[in-house]
Amino acid sequence: MVTEKTIELSEEEKFAKLDEIIEKNQGQEGILINVLHQAQQIFGHVARKVQLHIAEGLDIPFSKVYAVVSFYSLFSTDVRGRYTIEVCTGTACYVKGAEDILEKLKTELEIDPGETTDDGLFTLETTRCIGACGMAPIIKIGDNTHGRLEEDQIPDLLSKYE
Ligand code: FES
């Protein structure tokens, strides 16, 4: 997750921070994964230019960095919001109105699933059953789960995240 502190950094400052991390981790085992993980925390994603910067900093081929980023689903090459909203569209949630919840989120945020709001705050996604059907319909915002939601509650709920 992008922290409050890192999202305020300029791109130049983010790259400077990444350089510090690369420097600090030189020679350590699993350095590439570790650096990529921290880069994702700083930038919110690991875009091509971040991968190139890491390859150069670690003095390894870009193809090696790219291969790791492509292999592990935890790494994202797209710009991500500070919070990912996951709307469960599993059967129980669907029956309890997940579609209305999703529509309301799309309207409030003015984005479709897979997109990020212009202010960089939210990325909207749908997900399959997350195993809490008793609380349907459910959405997750970052690490927080919100259950038995009604669409009218969405604006208030979103306003708590900044
Ligand atoms: S269907 Fe949504 S939590 Fe199971």
Which atom of ligand 1 is nearest to 94's Cα? 1
Distance CA 124, CA 114 (A): 6
Distance CA 99, CA 21 (A): 43
> DSSP H helical segments within the chain, as ranges?
4-7, 11-25, 31-43, 48-58, 62-71, 91-95, 98-109, 154-159
Question: What does the block give as tokens for 60?
Answer: 């390894």
Which atom of ligand 1 is nearest to 91's Cα? 1
Asked whether residue 102 carries a pLDDT value surpassing 90, the answer given is yes
pLDDT at 2: 46
Question: What does the block give as tokens for 95?
Answer: 């029956």
pLDDT at 73: 80
Question: Tens of pLDDT along 105-115?
Answer: 999 999 999 88
* Ligand 1 site, residue 154, Cβ cutoff 6 A: no
Which atom of ligand 1 is nearest to 92's Cα? 1
Q: How far is the CA of 89 from the centre of ligand 1 (A)?
A: 7
- Averaged pLDDT of the chain: 90
Question: Tens of pLDDT along 47-60?
Answer: 889 999 999 999 99
Residue type, 78: D
* Ligand 1 site, residue 9, Cβ cutoff 6 A: no
